[in-house]
Every structure is written in C-alpha cells, then in structure tokens.
Structure 1
C-alpha cells in the first residue's frame, strides 16, 4: 500500500496540471482573468505529540525546526488542491515522570528522528470567505485534509548511552494523514501571509523508535508566504456572490432605463395622435378640416367646396376621358410625395405636383381614390392609423386647393399590401406610399 501511494503522488501532481489545462480552455482573455496557481514557503515548529488524543510515547517532548514548501491549484474560490512537502527533526526523551505521577520506566531514554521528506496531497477548503457586498476579502480561514507519504530515519538512546541508529539506519516509509487549520492574510495583490497548524497521523508506531501499541503522530505549526503565479487577481480571494449582486443591480438599472425609453416613446406617440386629431378635426362633418374650413357650421348634407363653403352645383358638363397626360400628372404627384418621418405632415417639396393634381380635379371634375400604405416597421395598429392619416392629409391638401371633397376617397391599408420586400431599406421606402387612382 505504501509503495502504491508513493507511485500515486506524481500522478496526483499530473492531475493538478491537467486540471489547469482543461480550465484554461474555458477562460477568456479578458482583463479580469483570475490567477489560480500559487507556491508557498514556510517554516515553523515540529513536535512529536498531538493534542487530539492518543498516547504519547515519551514524557518530555521537544520542539525543533521544520520547514516546507507547497504548490497549489485553486479550483474554485472556496476549494483547492495543494501538494505539500515538509522536512525537519523530531525529538523527545523520558527525563521526567509522567504527568500522572507514574514513574517513567521506559527502556528507551531518548530519540531523534530526521524527517527526510514528507509529501502529501491535500484538499483545502476556505471558510468564512463570503461577503455579499465585497468582491474580494483580505482575511480567510481554511481547513485541510489529505494523504501522503513520509520517509524518516530514527535514532534512539538506552539509559545514559548516546543515540544509535534504529532499524539499522534505514529510511522508514509510512503513510501519513495530515489534518490542519490555517489563516491567510492578503499582504499584496500577489503575496499572502500564511499561518497554519497541521496534525500528521502516521500509519505506524516507529516514528520515535518505541513501540507502545498506538500509531504515532506529530505536529507542524508554521508561518510562511504564498506567492500567486500568472496574471490577474487571485481566485482564492474572489467572491462570486458579490459579483452576482452587482450583475443584478446592473440588470435592474438597465430595466429602468428601458422603461424610461418606453415611457418616452408612449408620450411621443400620444403627442403625435393629438396633433393628427387636431389637424383632421371636422366639427361640422362636411369633409373639410376645421383648420381649412372657411364656412364652419355648415348644415348636414350640404355639398361644400374645398374651403368648406356651400357649393353651387354647376351645370352638367360633358364627360371627359382620362388621358395619358392626366395619368402622368398623377404619377408625378405620387413620385414626389413625401411626408415627415413617422408623421402625416406633407413636405413642402410635394406641393407643386399636388397643386397640378388639384387643378386637374377641378378642371375635369375627376373623382380620385387615395390609398395609404406603410412598411412593416412598428405595430400593425400604428401603421394602419398612419396610412389612413396620410391619405386624409393628401385629401385635405387637395381640397384646400379647390378640389371637391365629395369626389375624393381616402383609405388606409397599413402594411397589408406591400409592393416590395420589407427586408431592405429600399424595399421599405417603396412600401411607404400613397397611391392615386383617377376615375
């Protein structure tokens, strides 16, 4: 089992590298990319006892120097894998009685263990690193646990004799289970102060050269520095909860902005409808808008002229045939007819050709059908109103130039009768039209 574990440690390190390669494929090259690799160095105190229970083999334990390093891969802001290595010495003796007062009759008077190497793969979980309103923390607590392999040489002493090699001076290899706690402090963007304490449970009772029927253990209390590698801020200090909160606020602000735009558009549409109603208002129902009616209050049923005044019925005239020249006058008017954007207001450049149409209607007493059309931009209801209003606007203008209102029919078809595709600007321009039909 120990040999297999020794073979698995390089595979575990390879898994760290592979995990980083897979994750790198998912990361973008944005300026806020996060750093996930780090290395650490530390030094501290090694002691051959544990406060977590069990028997101590020697009545007096001693502290000695230990030192180590690690490489860490941060998987999420709260979880990482860390490959640790530790070296140092462990010492103790039986120069004192046991704390219970029992005399110390151990055959081994002292020991010294050279911890040649200690390698372990640990899972590290960050604790208390969540703040709703802070994107990054500066202090965090963490817990760790894992498994690894330790190699050590032991020397023991009997009575007053000096230390001698235990087990023929061979390096003993044993499985270890490290369990620890720590606190980390952010000193700079790429540098952290790391304080920790680890209890290492040994799968054997030979760490101190004395067999007493229970597995040995040792402590490592340390302080050190951790250095983040690569570009970007450290993922370990990153707080996705705060970022989610920020995104929610931004979404709310965007929704409020869209609502303001919608309210402004509704107000503009209401203003446009009010202007159109005011322009086309015909209080006496004679077919001439109030703004153009020179004889308001005309009784119902009375035929009026283009100015809204009662029309004197002319003597019957001979029927006039529509000629190609007449059709050309109408075609020119259609070609040159333009309105203000989104409105039914006729632009001044259209007046000349409309005047010729009005003169033609007066001269030959033609009837005229006006058909308003739009493209598919906007709602169907709005387009239907706009097409109707534009046809009525042309009728009102022709009547103002003397044409007989009763011989002009204005109808709106909205976007229901396109003559070109609405997928292009040119096609939509063709669909925005008022058709003139003489009869």
Structure 2
C-alpha cells in the first residue's frame, strides 16, 4: 500500500470523526447527560450499570515503534483491523480481549549506515502476514472524573497485558531470492508462534451513552527476533506498533447508565440530594426525638423516692420516706412493749434484708452497733439471733437463707468484739411471718433477723 495515500486517508478519516464528535459535544447539554437521581447508587454494585462492550477497529501497522529501530531501514505502513470485547469492572478499570489481523512490512530502500543498493545484512525487504493476534489487557481510565460536566465526554486510558500471535514472514534477500516462512515454520506449523507483550494508551470519546470512538496506540513487544524474517543484531527482539481508531458499543439495558461515563462525584451529589433520602433522614430524626422523650419520661421521678413516675403507684411521698418497688411507703410495726415481749430488748429493731440476700444493709449498722455496745458492757448478757425469710422460693432454700442472714449478723457482732459464745443463732425459714406474704410490703418485713436476749441467772 502506498504510504502517502494511506497516511492521507487515515488523517482525513480521523479528522472527519473528530468533527462528528465536536458537533455532537456542541449540541449536547448537561440536561441530556444527567444521571437521574436514584437511578444508580454509589455503593449499589455493578449490576446497576451497563458494563459489557464490543468494538471494531482498524488502523496502521508498523514494524517499529515511535522510538527505536528494527532490522530494516524503512518502515511501511500497512492495514490492520480487529475486534474487541471488554468488561468494565469498576469506574476506572476493565478487562479487554482483542483479536486482530493485518500485514507488517519494511525494506532497506533508505541508504543509511550499513545499507547500499537497497539491501543490508543480505536482506532487501520483508512482508509478514499477521494471521492472528489475540491479547488480554487491563484497561485503566486515568481521567474518568470531569468536574465541568456531570458526565465525561472524553476518557484517557492506558493498557497493558499479554498476547499470543501467529505470523508468517516473507523475506526478499539481496540477490532477489524470496524466502516464505508460511508452512515452513521451524516447529513444523503453518505459522510462527510467539508471546507478545502489548502496552498502549489512547483516548475514548463519548458519541452517545452506548457508543464511543476509540483512538489509540499500542506498542507490541515480540518474544523473538523472527517477525521480519531477519535474525540479525542479536540479542535484539522484534516489535511492532498499531495505531487505530474504532467504534465501541456498550450492550445491555438502555435504562441503565454506562459505567464508562458515570461520574462518581456527581453520583454522590445526586444521592445526597435525593429527596427520598432527605425524607428518610427527617423521619429518622423524628423517631430519635420520640425515643429520647420516652427515655426522659422513664427517668422522671417527681417525688425523688427512686421510683420513676411511670411505675410510681404512690406519687408525692415525702422526702426520705422508705418505699417499696411501687413507690409506696413501707410501714414497719411499732415495737412490742407488752409484758410478753419483756425478754426481748425493745431498743433493737429487726435487721431487714433485700430479696434473696444475706448481705447486711448500711441501714442496719446503728442497731448492730448498739447491740454490740450493750453486749460488751454487760458480760452476763447473751443474745439469740433468729433468722427468717419471705415465702418466695422453696422451703429448703428459705431455711438456708434465714440461717445465712442470722450468721451475717453474728459475724458483724463478733468482728466488733463480742464473744461468739454469747451469740446463738436459729433459722426459721419462711415460718412465723410477722406480715402478709401476699404483698410486697409484707414480704419486705418478713426478710429479717430478730434479737432475743436473756440475762444469766434470770
């Protein structure tokens, strides 16, 4: 193919395509490219987008790169063409499978060092049939956020990967002999096979949400020095380049946005401005306020008796009143001053206990300290400690509990200096209640230790 004609054709084609793109961009407005709020969520996953694309491309194949040289003094520019399949995995990254064919050629018609009469190193020209070349590349968008528009019009990308090529060079020697490697590959195959490493860059232009123009350049590094059929200048390896343009079509439900062009910043803005989200936030604020009010109501204790108003069955009790779990005053029986109770020190109140507990309360310390003082000042005095329990639980459990309560009182008195021999304990369990066990007030009074005393010689 004539290089001048090919060059003019490619330049004209690209210019025409760019003109179409420019016209499209000028007629597009932000209103036509806006992602409808709620159509996609920032963390909604890949399923909400179109991600699979198929493309076709054509361009120029050259036996060298824009840097470096090869085994021949002059590069010819031949036609290459191919198709691509791509899956976009994220806003900035996708995997692309490319398959292409074409022709690569060059000659020694340029008279430079080592070349004369159209030949160098015994070679005059070559023309290689690139029968097939497939590669898998990662494609990274390096500019997928446009702060001037809600959707990008242009994305820049870089690519890299690995591929496998089958080709057959036809070489013309300096003496005019033509050597064709097709069906004569060293391994007995029709074509020579080599690993190829492609590295490229390019620009993608959005024509519509589902159609894009790709313009790119790929440098291909061949793992061999046989692409041009001239194995010279060892240990160099051959390479070739592909400059191309093509159209890419994104498949899938047109109602879904194309992940290639979604601007994550604009998407976050839309999601934050979504009126539905704002309504949910306001509703949540209302629910939180109601919960806070309910908690405040639960904590409110108008009379300060330690029982909140919602559970206080006796509101308005005076400050300092001893109340039960319902907020009602606990009325203790008056000391028995009858003759039958003369043997019991009326100055000693019963020692009260919490439910299912034998731990002394601080309110019992004054009574215990008075009993201790009396015992230590009167060596002839002995005291019997009678333990009792309310009727909750089994009789055996209550018997053990009443004994533990009597022992708690005894331990306190012994630790205060009273001789343990002057203290006797008895356990009565839930028997001999002094109040009604069917009420909480009565059960509180029955959880007790009573004092009984006797003077020696009496």
Q: What TM-score does the superposition give when structure 1 sets the normalisation length? A: 0.51
1:238 deviation in Å?
1.7
State whether structure 2 residue 243 is matched by structure 1 residue 228: no
Secondary structure of the residue aligned to 1:254 is helix
Superposition pairs for residues 85-104 of structure 1, below 5 Å?
Answer: 85-98=99-112, 103=116
Paired position in structure 2 for 1:203: 223
> Relative to 1, partners in 2 of residues 1:45 and 1:377: Cα closer, same or farther, differing over 3 Å?
closer
Counterpart CA distance in 1 for 2:281 and 2:252 is 39
Paired position in structure 2 for 1:130: 145
Superposition pairs for residues 247-286 of structure 1, below 5 Å?
Answer: 247-249=271-273, 254=278, 258=282
Query: Which of 261, 266, 270 is matched with 1:237 structurally?
Result: 261
Secondary structure of the residue aligned to 1:241 is helix
1:51 deviation in Å?
2.0
State whether structure 2 residue 239 is matched by structure 1 residue 217: yes
Paired position in structure 2 for 1:185: 205
1:108 deviation in Å?
1.0
Counterpart CA distance in 2 for 1:102 and 1:161 is 16
Secondary structure of the residue aligned to 1:236 is coil
Structure 1: segments with no counterpart, 5+ residues:
1-25, 267-375, 389-411, 419-439
Task: State which structure, 1 or 2, has the greater radius of gyration over its C-alpha atoms.
Answer: 2
State whether structure 2 residue 65 is matched by structure 1 residue 50: yes
> Relative to 1, partners in 2 of residues 1:181 and 1:384: Cα closer, same or farther, differing over 3 Å?
closer
State whether structure 2 residue 86 is matched by structure 1 residue 72: yes
1:132 deviation in Å?
4.9
1:229 deviation in Å?
1.3
> Relative to 1, partners in 2 of residues 1:256 and 1:160: Cα closer, same or farther, differing over 3 Å?
same
Bigger fraction of residues in helix: 1
Contact 2:297 2:310 in 1 (8 A): no
Paired position in structure 2 for 1:62: 76
Paired residues, number = 254
Counterpart CA distance in 1 for 2:165 and 2:88 is 25
Counterpart CA distance in 1 for 2:138 and 2:57 is 18
1:251 deviation in Å?
9.4
In the TM superposition, what whole-angstrom CA distance separates every residue of 1:216-246 from its partner, at most 9, and x where no partner exists?
A: 0011111101011111221121222332244
Contact 1:42 1:222 in 2 (8 A): yes
Secondary structure of the residue aligned to 2:120 is coil
Paired position in structure 1 for 2:157: 142
Contact 2:131 2:168 in 1 (8 A): yes
Contact 1:111 1:163 in 2 (8 A): no
Secondary structure of the residue aligned to 2:229 is coil
Contact 2:165 2:196 in 1 (8 A): yes
Structure 2: segments with no counterpart, 5+ residues:
1-43, 314-458
> Relative to 1, partners in 2 of residues 1:156 and 1:75: Cα closer, same or farther, differing over 3 Å?
same
Counterpart CA distance in 2 for 1:205 and 1:131 is 44
> Relative to 1, partners in 2 of residues 1:102 and 1:70: Cα closer, same or farther, differing over 3 Å?
same
Contact 1:380 1:414 in 2 (8 A): no
Counterpart CA distance in 1 for 2:147 and 2:272 is 12
Paired position in structure 2 for 1:157: 172
1:415 deviation in Å?
2.4
> Relative to 1, partners in 2 of residues 1:93 and 1:384: Cα closer, same or farther, differing over 3 Å?
closer
1:256 deviation in Å?
12
Counterpart CA distance in 1 for 2:292 and 2:106 is 89
Counterpart CA distance in 2 for 1:227 and 1:139 is 16
> Relative to 1, partners in 2 of residues 1:199 and 1:382: Cα closer, same or farther, differing over 3 Å?
same
> Relative to 1, partners in 2 of residues 1:258 and 1:203: Cα closer, same or farther, differing over 3 Å?
same
In the TM superposition, what whole-angstrom CA distance separates every residue of 1:71-125 from its partner, at most 9, and x where no partner exists?
A: 1111101001111111000111112212x58645321101110000001110110
In the TM superposition, what whole-angstrom CA distance separates every residue of 1:232-278 from its partner, at most 9, and x where no partner exists?
A: 2211212223322444455999399849x87xx99xxxxxxxxxxxx
1:162 deviation in Å?
5.8
1:416 deviation in Å?
2.3
Counterpart CA distance in 2 for 1:132 and 1:414 is 58
In the TM superposition, what whole-angstrom CA distance separates every residue of 1:167-218 from its partner, at most 9, and x where no partner exists?
A: 7264100010001011101111211111111110000000001012210001
Counterpart CA distance in 2 for 1:175 and 1:135 is 42
Q: What TM-score does the superposition give when structure 2 sets the normalisation length? A: 0.49
Paired position in structure 2 for 1:379: 294
Secondary structure of the residue aligned to 2:260 is helix
In the TM superposition, what whole-angstrom CA distance separates every residue of 1:311-330 from its partner, at most 9, and x where no partner exists?
A: xxxxxxxxxxxxxxxxxxxx
> Relative to 1, partners in 2 of residues 1:202 and 1:71: Cα closer, same or farther, differing over 3 Å?
same
